[in-house]
Structure 1
């Protein structure tokens, strides 16, 4: 154990922890925001922009005749410049393999370099990848560039949510991680608008070269501010850099020094317990009997959102809407992303005001109904009104999916895992999600394309069935983590509290604050009066089952 970490653990924090909390004078609430916090959150949240931009470029690019002419030539089945079903599968799905490897490499990079410099490394690798796509002489080179960039943004996607969860206070953790979703979708919108504008104003190769040029410039812009961010205080403590962790907290906590020391000691205690539990942590630990349920719940939502039906409204949106014969497909794609921006913006507030579970479950029901309705209407696409109704339902789907499903997809793997397995669980979530995306993007053209299965919008019925199953599973397995610290989440799982009952439990101190903090930090977990968990009836605000109260010991 590094000496600096040991010294901190063996002595209590100097000063009194009964000091007055820094408060916002207008709201009467603890202060959490400052300009430094805002800049840090926005910069880290932009880590998903490369993913959002590239994936949103591909749908409109694949619908541009000039792009198809360069990389494939005429489609002999349809007698026009459209990609065949097999080429659609290659363009959309093979690059996702790079994302899986990027997610798997991410934990090892983060352990060695930290979150900040791992993010910088991902951006640097994205530069030659996007340049290759820009100047690719053929389809094989273009796909190779996409695979390489997938490696970069798979790594960045794994880092961003964890980095945000590390640097922001618990009270805004959900909103901060959701802000990454918003900026990713804004990148989607920028890609759609860029493709729409070039399609209208150019009649040559600039139609697709300009959007690809914008993509190639993005890694440079992201790389500029990232080295100036504070490092994750959690990573600093893990490496014994207590002073650096303290300075990082000071940059992202507009509170008193005493409050910073208190939070630092909490991080140090958690790290000591992590080391006591396991000297060596392996990727396979996330599948151990003790952690399997947490891994499945935390890691599943990013994968399951791929089979919700959103792929019909995003990745294949332009191609799909063209098949329906609905006006300008590029304009409709812009509308779809505007709906997602609205959902992502509302999610930032709703996750903290409403909660994760309370937001997700009703949203899942709505998505199931929309899938079934759109799939049913697809049998009547000969009617202009039916086609318009499907288009409208797709827009509503985009809004609710972003608000209720996408908002928790990367939040859960940043909140639910125990501290020592967070990196690996996030990598599993990204890798599993992209593996699911590979399957869906390979299968969907074979199901929907006119030269293959020709189901078109009827495929919504398949996704509706998937959403029904997801809704049932979420009811029993998705816990409410709003306002919960990582320690509290550990204890709720350790005491096997059913997910649907988490909101009925709160943690409280069993003795006076002065007595608790008189105990040396290194031995706090053995202090039997330190923490109590009580079942509470929120409606009546009173204790309803004293027998369920339990003294909690810290354990991973």
Structure 2
């Protein structure tokens, strides 16, 4: 063994590492979700904390689009057109596109820093950016100043997304991984839900506080996240990769692992990292595109990009505005927005019980297929904007869309992002996935106002035809290229990708890890009898 390899494994014999890995692996195989929750409540707590931090970012990335539906905001920052105040398409594009562009940079930068200074310190830096951005948004009286706040906040949004998904994947055992990563979708709906309540209460006010309340409330959500940061355990995987075994053992104990098993847990993590090192030979962004890592990178990041292509950004940012343009009162539109966010949260919580039972692949394909049908029918109904029955039909279909999206790809995309990449490249793969998604969101953000707005192309609900067509292409990709990863340990996934198992054979493929676990179980049964 080379000197470098000896240093990496801290002089632990490979045979012992594999034995420890087998013991930990067998425990993961036998452990149910409820057992994992009851045995490691601290892991669950810190998973919820990380999800709360992600909620803070959802305010500015998705819920922030709600300001377009506030009449006073359009009056203060827009111009009068055909009986209504509207925001210029150029500034609408800048608000959303600019923040997604900076989120792209934030995602990539956070990955680089997270591998060098740790997950906790990157969180701290992101919180600092968030406070500055919020302040700009609160005091803004011009389009340029408001854009500045959105742009600064974008860096924090990208960083929070990258670090949170990496952290959740690293602290969650196999039986909890599906639930905790799928729950990331809840974070992206909880923020909009809180904002919808604020808008319902204050959105009709005829002064700047009609919309400033959204941004001021960000201080509270962000501060709650910052208060927990000093107590948050660092990722044991990152600490072990840095050779800090004692701190890793302490982090494992703080995450609820028994002190008697920390040595075996550390040895198991080292064994996994060593096997991955032999495949990757380095930790750079370039490694994400070499050997089996290229396939894993594509599979990890594609579902997040599909989220952009199926039109969720359009639904989030324009549904309430569309309801108002159709002639429905502002008060009613805000109540509908509250209802829509409740539907989103209920759907995501339902997905927790489906991602492992139905599987990531099947759930995602069913969801995208259903959304194609909804988008096409909604576009057809949208061809009659003057018919209120058709308008109500569009609104109902888009509410159903919210449910289908959040119970399927709105949850499974985060599962796949967190679990498909190799252990040593997880932060970088997550950053690439979120960066690519934000790049697509940037593109759509610049285009949508020119397609939707009444003073531009005025497509209205017919915009859904665009996303329906793009969704068909996404479904073709999913059928041929998306594997089933539910119920697999990281060691199994490493083996299957290295062996180049075809995507449609993942579910029924029997790995060497499974065979080894079965032999251990048989030996244990013989000893008991």
Q: TM-score, normalised by structure 2?
A: 0.90
Note if 1:235 corresponds to 2:241.
no
Matches within 5 A, 1:296-311: 296-311=298-313
Decide which of 257, 262, 270 is 2:260's aligned counterpart. Answer: 257
Q: Could you tell me which residue of structure 2 aligns to residue 317 of structure 1?
A: 319
Which residue is equivalent to 1:495?
499
Cα distance in 1 for residues equivalent to 2:64 and 2:173: 37
Which secondary structure state, in structure 1, belongs to the residue aligned with residue 510 of structure 2? strand
| Pick aligned residue for 2:72 from 43, 66, 71 | 66
| Structure 1 portions without partners, runs of 5+ | 517-556
Equivalent of residue 44 in structure 1, options 39, 44, 50: 50
User: Aligned to 1:482, what secondary structure does the other structure show?
Assistant: coil
CA distance in 2, matches of 1:239, 1:20: 23
- Contact 1:31/1:255 (8 A) holds in 2: no
Where do residues 350-499 of structure 1 align in structure 2 (5 Å cutoff)?
350-499=354-503
| Residue pair 1:165, 1:415 contacting (<8 A) in 2 also | yes
Change (3 A) 1:324 1:255: farther
Q: Does 1:196 align with 2:200?
A: yes
Q: Structure 1 residues 356, 85: CA separation in 2 closer, same or farther (over 3 Å shift)?
A: same
Preserved CA contact (<8 Å) 2:24 2:265: no
Question: Could you tell me how far apart the structure 1 residues matched to 2:36 and 2:491 are?
Answer: 22
Conserved in 1, the CA contact under 8 Å of 2:310 and 2:368? no
Cα pair distance change 1:27/1:61, threshold 3 Å: closer
Offset at residue 285 of structure 1 (A): 2.3
Q: SS in structure 2 opposite 1:6?
A: coil
- Determine the C-alpha separation between the residues in 2 that align with 1:103 and 1:256: 35
The Cα shift of 1:26 comes to: 13
Deviations 1:229-251 (Å, cap 9, x if unpaired)? 21111101100111222222233
- For residue 226 of structure 1, what is the aligned residue in structure 2? 229
Task: Work out the CA distance in 1 between the residues paired with 2:26 and 2:258.
Answer: 7
Asked if structure 1 preserves the Cα contact closer than 8 Å seen for 2:32 and 2:175, the reply is no
Matches within 5 A, 1:23-422: 30-33=35-38, 34-72=40-78, 74-75=79-80, 77-200=81-204, 202-253=205-256, 257-258=260-261, 260-288=262-290, 290-327=292-329, 328-422=332-426
Give a deviation string over 1:161-194, Cα, whole Å, max 9, x none: 1100100101110110122221231111001111
Equivalent residues of 2:68, 2:317 under 8 A apart: no
Inter-partner Cα distance in structure 2 for 1:131 and 1:18: 51
Distance 1:179 1:156 in 2: 15
Please state which structure has a larger fraction of its residues in helix: 2
CA distance in 2, matches of 1:177, 1:20: 20
RMSD over equivalenced CA pairs, Å: 2.9
Distance, in Å, in 2 between the alignment partners of 1:115 and 1:365 is: 37
C-alpha separation in 2, matches of 1:296 and 1:373: 31
Q: Deviation per CA, 1:187-215, whole angstroms, max 9, x where unpaired?
A: 11001111221124x33222122221111
Partner-residue secondary structure (3-state), 2:217? helix
Structure 2 contact 174–487 (Cα < 8 Å) conserved:
yes
For residue 5 of structure 1, report the CA deviation from its aligned partner: 4.1
Partners of 1:267 and 1:21 lie apart in 2 by 14
Query: Structure 1 pair 146/329, CA: closer, same or farther in 2 (3 Å)?
Result: same
The alpha-carbon deviation at position 254 of structure 1 amounts to 5.1
**1:351 counterpart SS class:** coil
- Is the contact between residue 237 and residue 268 of structure 1 (CA under 8 Å) also seen in structure 2? yes
Q: 1: distance between equivalents of 2:436 and 2:509? A: 31
| Structure 2 CA distance for partners of 1:349 and 1:253, relative to 1, 3 Å | farther
Q: Is the 8 A contact 2:53 2:222 kept in 1?
A: no
CA contact (8 A) 1:22 1:31 kept: no
Q: What SS does the corresponding residue of 1:313 show, helix, strand or coil?
A: helix
Q: What SS does the aligned partner of 2:507 have?
A: helix
Q: CA deviation at 1:424?
A: 1.6
Distance in 2, matches of 1:28 and 1:91, equals 41
Measured in 2, the distance between the counterparts of 1:506 and 1:32 equals: 28
Quote the offset at 1:479 in angstroms: 1.0
| Whole-Å separation in 2 of the counterparts to 1:491 and 1:199 | 54
Aligned length: 512
Aligned to 1:522: none
Question: Structure 2 stretches of 5 or more lacking a match?
Answer: 524-529
Q: CA deviation at 1:409?
A: 2.0
Distance 1:380 1:124, change over 3 A: same
Deviation string, structure 1 residues 264-295 (Cα, Å, up to 9, x no partner): 22210122234444553321222235432222
Contact 1:308 1:467 in 2 (8 A): yes
Q: Which deviates the most, 26-35 or 394-403? A: 26-35
Q: Contact 2:36/2:176 (CA < 8 Å) preserved in 1?
A: no
Q: CA deviation at 1:253?
A: 4.3
* Aligned-partner Cα distance in 2 for 1:487–1:283: 22
Between the aligned partners of 2:321 and 2:272, the Cα distance in structure 1 is: 50
Cα distance between partner residues in 2 of 1:219 and 1:19 = 36
Q: What is the distance in 2 between the residues matched to 1:175 and 1:20?
A: 19
| Larger mean Cα displacement after TM superposition, 288-297 or 118-127 | 288-297
Contact 2:24 2:264 in 1 (8 A): no
